[in-house]
Chains A and B, each alone.
Chain A
Amino acid sequence: MTTLLATPNGADPLAVSPSPSRRVRLAWPLALRLIMLATLLAVALLAAVRLGAVSLTTRALLDATVGRGDPTTVTIVRELRLPRALQAALVGAALAVSGATFQALLRNPLAEPYILGVSSGAAAGAVLAVVTGWAVRFFWALPIAAFTGAFMSMLLVFRIAFRVGRALDTKVLLLSGVVVSSFLVAVIWLILTFADTESVRSAIFWMMGSHAGASWRSVAILGSCLVPSLLILFALARPLNLLAIGEPTAAYLGTSVERTKIVAFATATLLTAASVSVSGTIGFVGLVVPHAIRLLWGSDNRGLLPCSAIAGAAFLVGADTLARSLAGANELPIGIVTALVGVPCFVWLLRRPAAA
């Protein structure tokens, strides 16, 4: 149990902090890793456009991509598959980077993007929008309500955490996230207990998470939120490395600990909130992708964050493609695919002799 609530330890393959013994892994240059992962993402994106419930010939697909040929195929490729694949990529990148950041900040390998209650806040907002009927009257009400819910829950969690100590204590933050999340889940089920069956069904569909609602607009909104957030977090990679070793050490080495923590927490939370509001909660990606990258190439955040972003994107695009093409027109919930495919891959990584 103590290894799970990790401390920096060179022999621990799941340690969330970089350690000197990991340095040897840097023999794989970062550029090479990024190129490899980017190739993987490109393959996943191609597969996402190529595969689906409707089978298309490569010829028809190429024509449709440039807007020629059968208008139906053009609609399927350009209005349904492409935005969906891109949304999956953006959400995957956001969740993986957000998860990696939370793991570094909280120095806890169990940390994931939803650990501070963002998903419960988003779900509470979404459920309210569904039950009150706003979602029916106004198309963007559902994502806006979800984002507002996520944002409010984040504010609440941080307010509680700040009230308790002088500075932002990550243990208190973690606890306050967990209790706020539990409270919101209770509120959600209280609302749903008295809601009509149709609203309950719609709300549960939303909570299961899906990229089915993707559109160019959702991609644009998510993208414009994602790019600056990713840049901010990438820029914080070095201070995050130091923080992962320990706050006093980080402060000693010239990091402005409080500022780094607040900026990193806020950015990671916003990333998660934006993702959840367009796609619902999709588990597993944010927890496991960063760990997989750590197992492969160590926990230096300068490499970990960009690698996680691309790997998360590729993983979620692949999972979404499987979800909507495995069973024909019957779409599988994406959370099932991420776990069914992701767990065996992760177990294989864990058991690899090189990881020991």
Chain B
Amino acid sequence: MFKGTILHRVVRVVAIVALLCAAARAANAQAKPAAAIELTDAAGHVVRLAKPARRVISLIPSATETLIALGATPQIVGRTRYDVAPEVAKLPSVGGGLDPSVETIVSLHPDLVIAWESDKRQQIRQQLIAAGIAVFVLRTQDTTDIFRGMANLGRLTGRDSAARAVATSVRGELEVVRRRVAGLSTPTVFYVVYSDPPMTAGPATFIGQLLDLAGGRSIFADLRQNWPTVAMEEIVRRDPDVVIVPVGEFKTNTIDRFRGLAGWRELRAVREGRVVTVPADLSSRPGPGIGEAARVLSAAIHHDFSARAKP
């Protein structure tokens, strides 16, 4: 019994201390000024900024393009080695987007870093947060992600109205393409992300969605994966009307190479010359360029092959 009372007393003291702590914490939380910006990123982390970010580093090239389109170029203080835009070419490089030099990032004093949602390791985010830098994780898979990214980047950099304007103009460009292909036939398309082994864009990716919008139908629209590797004989069996090759990203993606490759050679579209190239910098970047990308893809899908075939 004696033991019991002591235990009870201890429990009571602990409970009181815990309550006091909780109360103090609650008071603390209330005392803190509400952050001006509070957004949930693609990984579900709530990111708070007292004011719009003045120094930003984007580890995602397409997000860098979005920032430039929003007029946030003066706020960008670093780039990755994959950024091609001339606006950021002179800025210091922080290395790769997935393996950046964290100390270089820290030395540039950013108040916000835009990072890949697709990076399944948490270490970069963890180290940056430990250094007091806000990290906003962005998804870049489909067009919804692209528009959400624009809105979020606008909010984070204090450029809401610019973000709305860019989004409206991109939507307008997409609408123009959609209307233009409305009455046309829908050729079947094989979009070559990578040639060996053949890899294409799944229906849930922005490329898959743009192909749809541009009036084509991917021969692999039934696959669930985002970037499926497919068998050559399956491509031959599904017999696409058009093969679209983005050039510039991978050196192996050239038309001449396709004509010589076993498998590709057997493809009716390749034999009959229905292979079209599109600039990879345009079609592979999930950013503000997707309107233009849709236009280029629609031109590729509805290319008039008969005109060129005549000698």
A→B interface (CB under 8 Å): 52-54, 72, 75-76, 79-81, 130, 133, 135-136, 139, 142, 196-199, 201-203, 205-206, 210, 212-213, 215, 324, 328-331
Contacts and interface: CB of A to CB of B under 8 A. Distances in A.
Interface stretch (B5-13, B117-125, B154-162, B280-288): B117-125
Interface in B112-138: 116, 118-124, 126-127, 130-132
A76 B106 contact: yes
Nearest to A327: B95
Interface in B69-120: 81, 92-96, 98-104, 106-107, 109, 116, 118-120
B22 interface: no
Given A215-B126, A330-B81, A72 B101 contact: no
5 contacts: A52-B101, A54-B106, A76-B107, A142-B122, A196-B227
A199 B100 CA distance: 18
Interface in B21-69: 43
A324 B104 CA distance: 11
B113 to A, nearest CB: 14
Interface of B: 43, 81, 92-96, 98-104, 106-107, 109, 116, 118-124, 126-127, 130-132, 225-227
B95 A205 contact: no
Nearest to A133: B120
A54 B121 contact: no
A283 to B, nearest CB: 18
Contact of A136 (B92, B122, B132, B226): B122
B103 A198 contact: no
B121 A329 contact: no
Contacts of B99: 205, 210, 212, 331
Interface of A is mostly: helix
Given A198-B118, A198-B120, A329 B104 contact: yes
Contacts of A324: 101
Contacts of B123: 212-213
A177 B109 CA distance: 48
Contact of B103 (A54, A142, A196): A54
B289 to A, nearest CB: 21
Nearest to B43: A136
Question: 6 tightest A-B contacts by CB?
Answer: A198-B118, A213-B123, A202-B120, A329-B95, A329-B101, A53-B101
B118 A201 contact: yes
A80 B119 contact: no
B103 A81 contact: yes
B93 A202 contact: no
B82 to A, nearest CB: 11
B104 A213 contact: no
Contacts of B226: 196-197
A329 B94 contact: yes
A28 to B, nearest CB: 39
B92 A205 contact: no
B225 A328 contact: no
Nearest to B107: A54
B127 A329 contact: no
A139 B118 contact: no
A215 B121 CA distance: 14
Contact of A202 (B101, B103, B119, B225): B119
Contacts of B131: 75, 79-80
Contact of B225 (A52, A136, A196, A212): A196
A126 to B, nearest CB: 9
Contact of A135 (B92, B118, B122, B132): B122
A219 B165 CA distance: 49
Contacts of B103: 52-54, 76, 80-81
A267 B123 CA distance: 28
Contact of B121 (A52, A72, A75, A135): A135
Contacts of A210: 99
Contact of A80 (B92, B98, B100, B127): B127
A77 B216 CA distance: 54
Contacts of B104: 53-54, 328-329
B227 A329 contact: no
Contacts of A142: 121-122
Given A80-B106, A215-B126, A197 B120 contact: no
Contacts of B95: 53, 328-331
